[in-house]
Structure 1
Amino acid sequence: MSKAQEHRQLWLAALRADGPATRVAFEEAAASEAGLSVPAPSCPGWTVLDLVTHQAKTYLWVRSHVARGVTSRPDHDPREELAELPTGTAAIQWWSDEYDALVGLLETLDPQLPAWNWAPAPKLAGFWLRRMAHSTAVRRWDAQMALGQAEPIESRLAADGVAEVLETWLPAGRRSGPTDRSGVVRLVATDADDEWLVRLRGEGVALLDTDTWLDHDEHPTRVSARGTASDLVLALFGRVRFDVLEVSGEAALLTSLRAG
């Protein structure tokens, strides 16, 4: 099996697993005393209802442009046409309908189909299959965290999520952390046999080849962070603090890798 096929299977399997788990969390929240007004602590200021509606709108938007077969930026956003959004169990049903429609589309879509995306990455539909797998996994974690029962992101998917942040989010300038620091960061996934080296030069970010990169003194400021792949990707997306990891060196550098 080719690497591309392995990735496609990983992302589809993740969508099929995390989607139903997300719905269970949404339904448990709806059945609680506070209903979907339960706060989502990993997304300050949001409630579970915000998680539901935001993700449903995301699925709707991706469905609207991913299968066009062109790389131009979409000039239509169906989210802008939404009137009053549903609440309660109706909101969950809306999310479920959008999830089912998206997965059904992605299951039949050729990942090599030309498609726009916002990153310095190949303009192919596979970008969105990957992005939706990770988006769904993190939202599942958010919903479960609101109930105090968050389960880790599956290690292979989480390791790919770390790579996605370093390959697309940061080079695209989608950073929520400081952009005035320089140094080298090593991230090590203890449960996935993966590691990454990242060079920071202010607003510049470079993912280094760990097989060929030679150590030198160009960047005296360095930090190493080790932990499960799930903790690494959740830290990069600001869901957990970097101090859940085993950190050595200049810890302040890590916040410059935050995606947002």
Structure 2
Amino acid sequence: MTVSAALPYDAIEHIRLDGTELIRLVSDADPTLSVPHCPGWSLRELTFHVARGWNFWAGVLSAGITSRNNVREIPKIERSPDHARLVDALFDAHVRLCDALHATDASMQVWTWTGSTQRVPWVARRMTHETMVHLWDAGQAIGLDFEFAAEVAADGIDEWLTWFAAGERAEGEKKVGGTINFSCTDAELLPGHGEWFVSAMKEPKATFIRANRKGDAAIRGTAQDILMWLWRRSSNIEITGDEVVARRFQAFTDLT
């Protein structure tokens, strides 16, 4: 089984295209530009962050790492004030990640930070959304807006609810105090592919179902806008019902 066949979209192709565009943007832009929704980050810092992530997961896949102890063996990308050097590292990491995803059987289990090993499509999914969100970040830094496929953004919401919501909270809200309904307004999404009902937020997981149920607060918007709201990038969504519950929900998970 290939990675592409294991997900509802061609993850490797999205990583390739979005990653190539991200490399082009950070190559041409002023590296000292601030990234609006990443406090304290410049484009240089964003470049380093993405390069480090791509390099890490390329290393996990290439070596077939299944133990946290072996993660230390992955060569690290060093932070550098030389932006051209960082861009070269970004390009190299992108090539190695795409090559590793192509070469690795989708059924293989590898180490992840989830607490257990996961199949390779987990990495492909994570890198699809990581790359997409940071391409959006880079665009915001230089005044460009990007639109992403609704099915990919909707999967990003599902990934966020599955693996990020309520996890490793340090400074978030102590409780949400209500339920949340998410509804994507994208016409191209198949029925049932853009709705979630979150009944509880409690470390380390959110409790949710993929269905349309009435919640104390309802969040409506395109899949991309909802995803960016969850990642605290955008407020271009419609909130009905209890806005305090919605605010607490967004603030609950520690994303620092």
Q: TM-score per shorter chain, which class?
A: 0.7 to 0.9
Alpha-carbon deviations, 1:14-58, whole Å to 9, x = none?
A: 1122011112211231xxxxx200111111110000010111111
The number of equivalent residue pairs is 246
Is 1:57 the counterpart of 2:52? The answer is yes
Match of 2:177 in 1: 182
Is 1:210 the counterpart of 2:211? The answer is yes
Q: Alignment partner for residue 156 of structure 1, among 147, 151, 154?
A: 151
Aligned-partner Cα distance in 2 for 1:234–1:175: 21
Aligned-partner Cα distance in 2 for 1:225–1:164: 17
On the 8 A contact 1:155/1:229 being kept in 2, the answer is yes
Aligned-partner Cα distance in 1 for 2:25–2:216: 39
Q: Alignment partner for residue 106 of structure 1, among 101, 108, 114?
A: 101
Match of 1:223 in 2: 217
Q: Match for 1:183: what amino acid?
A: G
Is 1:245 the counterpart of 2:237? The answer is yes
Deviates more, 1:140-149 or 1:67-76: 67-76
Residues 75 and 3 (structure 1), Cα distance of their counterparts in 2 relative to 1, 3 Å cut: closer
Residues 238 and 77 (structure 1), Cα distance of their counterparts in 2 relative to 1, 3 Å cut: farther
Deviates more, 1:90-99 or 1:112-121: 112-121
**% identical equivalent positions:** 24
Match of 1:168 in 2: 163
Q: Match for 1:142: what amino acid?
A: D
Is 1:19 the counterpart of 2:19? The answer is yes
Residues 13 and 80 (structure 1), Cα distance of their counterparts in 2 relative to 1, 3 Å cut: closer
Q: Match for 2:238: what amino acid?
A: E
Match of 2:86 in 1: 91
SS class of match (1:183): coil
Q: Match for 1:240: what amino acid?
A: S
On the 8 A contact 1:10/1:157 being kept in 2, the answer is no
Q: Which TM-score applies when normalising by structure 2?
A: 0.84
SS class of match (1:207): strand
Q: Alignment partner for residue 228 of structure 2, among 218, 234, 237?
A: 234
Residues 108 and 162 (structure 1), Cα distance of their counterparts in 2 relative to 1, 3 Å cut: same
Match of 2:111 in 1: 116
Q: Match for 1:251: what amino acid?
A: E
Aligned-partner Cα distance in 2 for 1:197–1:148: 34
Alpha-carbon deviations, 1:88-146, whole Å to 9, x = none?
A: 22221211111111111111212210112122676212111110111001110111110
Q: Match for 1:205: what amino acid?
A: A
Q: Which runs of 5+ in 2 are unaligned?
A: none
